[in-house]
Structure 1
Amino acid sequence: MKLNLAAYALASSGLAAASNSFAGSSLYFLPGLSASDQANYINTLASYGAKVVRVWINGLGTGCVKGSNVVTSISEFETTIGTYNWNSLAAVDKVLAQLAAKGMKAIISPHDGNDIHDGSVSGNGCDIYCHTYGTSFYSNSQAQAQYDARIKAILTYKSPSSGLAWGNWSDAILAFDLENEPFQFTSDGANNDPSNWLCNRAANFKKYITDSNIKVATGGIGGDQSHGHTMLAKALSCPSIDLMSVHAYVGSASTWGAIMPGFEASAAANNKLVYIEEWGVATSYPSDFNDQSAAINNIAYPWIYWQMIPGDDGTESCNSGCCTGYDGFEVGFNSGKGNLQYAISQANTKTTKQDWSFVGAPPNGGGSGGSSPPTGGGGGSGSGYPADTCTWGCEGWDCSSSSPCQSAYSCVGGYCKNCTWGCGGWNCSASQPCNADYTCVSGVCHHSGPAT
C-alpha cells in the first residue's frame, strides 16, 4: 500500500496521545492443557512481561497439538445452533482468571472464520454454521441472527471466577474479535462486505460490552494482509469497531516498515487503533524471529505472535514421549528459533503513535532484560516447560472441597488463587469489605488499580 502523506499526518495528529507498546501470543488450545501446564505457560509469559494472550471459543480433542499435550476435551460451543455448551466457556474462564491474576488480558475470538467455506477447502474444519449455510453464512439473515445470539450468550456469560459478565470484565479481557479471519474463504472481502456483516455484528457486540475498556476488533479480515482486505472500507467507517487487526506472515523483516505505516494511517484517519494480531516466522523465511520482532518493535506496534508454545517446537530435539502436529510457525520457550523474552521486553519499552493506555502496564516486574531464553525443562520428558516447584494445590490448579489448595492459596471459582479474603469477584458490603487491591462496586469486588 502506498502511504498517503495527508492521511499519515492525520494519523499522527488524530491519535496523538502515545503510550507504551506491548506483546503477547496466541494459543487457541490453552484451555485444553492441564491446570499445571496452563499455569506454567501463563507464569512464564508473565515473567517475560507479556500483556496479552489470544484464545478461541472452539472445540478441542485430546492428544498432541503443536508440541503440547491437550488433556481436556472441550465441546464446540454450538453443535446445534442456539444450544450452547457452557462447559466451553467455563474452560476459557479458568484461563481468563489466571491471566487477570497475573496482570494480563485476553483477546477472544468467539468463532473461527476458517470454518466457513463451501466444502472445497481441504484441511479446514467445518462447524455447524458451515454445514448449515456454507459461504452464505455472511449474507443469510437467519445466520446473522443466530450468530448475534451466540455473541450475546458469550458476552453476557457470568464468569464463575469473577462473578462478572465477560462484557464487563476488563481486568481479564482486552477485546473480542468479530471472528477469527472473517471472509477468509468467501468473496465478501473482495466485494467490500455487501451485507454489512462486519458493522452490524460489531453493533451487536457493543450492546453487551458494558465496560468501555473492552474493545471490538476485526480479527483479521480476509486472513493474511496479502489478500488485501485488512483495512476494508466498511470496517474503517464503522463506529462500533475499535481495533483493526493485522494478520501478516511475511518473509522479510523489511516488509513491516513498508506495510504498517499505511495501515496505521488508514486506521487513525477513521479513529481506529491498529495492531498486529497474528504473525509468524517459518524456518524457510529469509528473516528469522529475532529480526522480524526487532523490525516490529522498531516501528512500535503492539503484536501477538502465532504461536509461542509451552512445549518443544519442531526445531527442537525431543527425548521421549514427544508431541508433534506443527504448522511450522511455532516457537518454544526454550527454542533457539527466537528469543521470546527479549522480544517481549523490547516491545514494552517502545512508544507507539497511538493511545493504548487503556491496556494497562505489563505484569509487575516482567519483561526487563531478557538477554537470553530460559534454560532447562522440568515439566516432563521433552516437554520444554519451565520447572514446576509446586506439586499440589498450586496457583491456577483446579480445586474443590475434596481437592483443596495449599495454604498460600484460596479456592476461587474452582481454581487456586493467591488471595484469601475480599478477592476479585467476591461478594462485598460495608460489613464484608474487599481487600486493599479491590473496590466494592455494586456488591462485587473489582480491581481498584488504574483503569485498564
Structure 2
Amino acid sequence: MLLNILGPLSVLFIAALPAVEAANSFAGSNLYYAAGLYEDDRTTLLEGLQSAGMKILRVWLDGQSSSQKGTNINTFPDLEPSKICDGDASCYDDTVLERLDDFMVAAHSYGIKLLIDMHSYNALAAGDVYGRAYNKEGFYTNSDAQSAFDQRLIHVVNHVHTTLGKPWKELSDYIFGFEAENEAMIGDGQTFIQDNQQWQCDRAGTIKGQLGDNSGILILTGGESWMAESVQPDFLKCDALDVISIHAYSPGDLSTSAIQTYVKQAQSAGKKLILEEWGACYYDTSNNDCPSGSVLSSSTRNANIKNWADNISAAGLPWLYWQVLPNADPHYSTDYEIGLVNDASWSTLKSAAQAALQAEAAFDFSAYLL
C-alpha cells in the first residue's frame, strides 16, 4: 500500500530507513569463590575468559574457609558470619564485598562484568545464620526471615565501592546483574517452588526499589535445578524481574527444540532468558548426575561441549558455563569444571564461547555488556 502511494519515491524512502540488526549472543562463566582469588589466579582467569570472548562472570557472596576446586584461595567470611544483621550496618562483615570491589575493577579492564548472587541455597542448607534460625523451608515462608533477608539485599546494593566511591547499585559499567539467591528453594522440591513463586518476585521488588527503573543493571532469578523448574509462570509475570535464569544439565534440556519452547514463553511475556548454568560431565555417568564414574575420553567430552553449546546458541540463548577454573581441574566430585591449565577441553569451550558471539540472539543484552 505504501509503495503505491509513494510511487517513484518509494525506493528512496525505504533506502533511507535505518537497517535493523539482530543482536548477537554471548557466553560467560561461573566461579562461586571468585572473591577469594589471589591476584595471579585472578589474572589467569580473566585473561582466559577474555581470550574466549566471555563477557560475564557469575560470583557469590558466601564465605569460603578453605581452598576450592584445586584453587588456593584467600579465605573470607560470610557477609553475615555470626547472626542475622537485619539492617544493622555494623553487624555485616563486608570483606567479601570489598574483595569484589577489586575484582570488578580488574574484570572491567578485560571487558567482563560481574553477575552477583547475594546468597545461595547452598549456604542455607549448610546451616548459615538463616538456615539455623528458620530452616530450609521457613526461610522462604516466615515473614520475619523475608524482612531480614531484604535488609541484606539492601545492604549489598548500597555498598559503597572502596575505590570508585559509588554504591554498587550505580555501577552498571561493572555489574551485569543482581540475584537474590542462587537456586532458591531447590532442596524443598518442585511443588514447594511452585507454591512459593512470590518469594522471587518480592525479593526482586526489594532490589528494584533500590536500583530504580533505569539503573542499567539487570535483576535475575538465580535459576533452579532444571529447565521447567527454572521457568515458573509467575516469574514471567513479575514486573520487577528482568531475566529468568535457567540451570540445566540434562541433555534433554540442552536440545535446541526444548530451549525454544521457553524462549517463546519469555518473548511473549516481555522477559529475557539466560542459560546461567550448564556443563559437560567429566565422567561417563548421566550428565545431570555427575559425582563419579569412568573418565570419558577427551574427544567424547569435547563433542558434548560443542554439541550442547551449539544447541544453546542456536536457540538464541546466551550461556554461562559451570565453571572455568584458573588452575588445573583436580576432578573432584560432581565434575563439570574446565581448567585453564593443561585441560584437554578448554580449547573446545573457548571455541564454543567465541562462536556464541556470532550467533543471533533471541534477546538483546547488548546494552548490558562491555
Q: TM-score, normalised by structure 2?
A: 0.82
Cα distance between partner residues in 2 of 1:21 and 1:68: 30
> Which amino acid counterpart does residue 168 of structure 1 have in structure 2?
E
In 1, are the aligned partners of 2:281 and 2:336 still within 8 Å (CA)?
yes
Deviations 1:121-146 (A, max 9, x none): xxxx2211011101110110100000
Q: Aligned runs of 1:309-320 on 2, under 5 Å?
A: 309-314=325-330
Structure 1 residues 165-174 or 289-298, which shifts more?
289-298
Distance 1:166 1:343 in 2: 31
Separation in structure 1 between the aligned mates of residue 236 and residue 98 of structure 2, nearest angstrom: 33
**Alignment check: 8 A CA contact 2:316 2:363 kept:** no
Residue equivalent to 2:36: 32
Partners of 2:197 and 2:234 within 8 A in 1: no
Q: Conserved in 2, the CA contact under 8 Å of 1:17 and 1:355? A: no
- Among all aligned residue pairs of Structure 1 and Structure 2, give the percentage whose two residues are the same amino acid: 29
Q: Corresponding residue for 1:122? A: none
In angstroms, what is the RMSD of aligned CA positions? Answer: 2.0
C-alpha distance after superposition, 1:89-121 (max 9, x if no partner): 10122111111122211111100023334xxxx
CA contact (8 A) 1:42 1:99 kept: yes
- 2-structure distance, mates of 1:94, 1:57: 14
Q: What's the counterpart of residue 118 of structure 2?
A: 110
* SS of structure 2 residue aligned to 1:84: coil
Superposed displacement of residue 242, structure 1: 0.3
| Of 96, 101, 107, the match for 1:93 | 101
CA distance in 1, matches of 2:21, 2:202: 29
Distance (Å, rounded) in 2 between the aligned partners of 1:255 and 1:302: 13
Cross-structure match for 1:18: 22
Q: Map of 1:32-431 to 2, 5 A cutoff?
A: 32-63=36-67, 65-70=68-73, 72-79=74-81, 80-82=83-85, 83-117=91-125, 125-134=126-135, 135-187=137-189, 189-190=191-192, 192-194=194-196, 196-210=198-212, 211-220=214-223, 222-225=224-227, 228-251=228-251, 255-283=254-282, 284=284, 285=287, 288-314=304-330, 325-333=332-340, 334-338=342-346, 339-361=348-370
Contact 1:114–1:185, Cα closer than 8 Å, also in 2: no
Tell me how far apart the structure 2 counterparts of residues 276 and 147 of structure 1 sit (CA, whole Å): 26
Give CA-to-partner distance per residue, 1:14-50, whole Å, 9 cap, x none. Answer: xx98311110100111211211111121122112211
Distance across 1 between alignment mates of 2:254 and 2:198 = 31
d(CA) in 1 for partners of 2:190 and 2:356?
A: 34
Q: 1:166: Cα distance to partner? A: 0.7
The alpha-carbon deviation at position 212 of structure 1 amounts to 2.7
SS at match of 1:39: helix
Look up the SS of the partner of 1:352 in the other structure. Answer: coil
CA offset at residue 224 of structure 1? 2.5
In 2, the alpha carbon distance for the partners of 1:78 and 1:212 equals 26
Alpha-carbon shift at residue 357 of structure 1 (Å): 1.8
In the alignment, the residues of structure 1 paired with residue 236 and residue 21 of structure 2 have an alpha-carbon distance, to the nearest angstrom, of 20
The one-letter code sitting in structure 2 at the alignment partner of 1:353 is: A
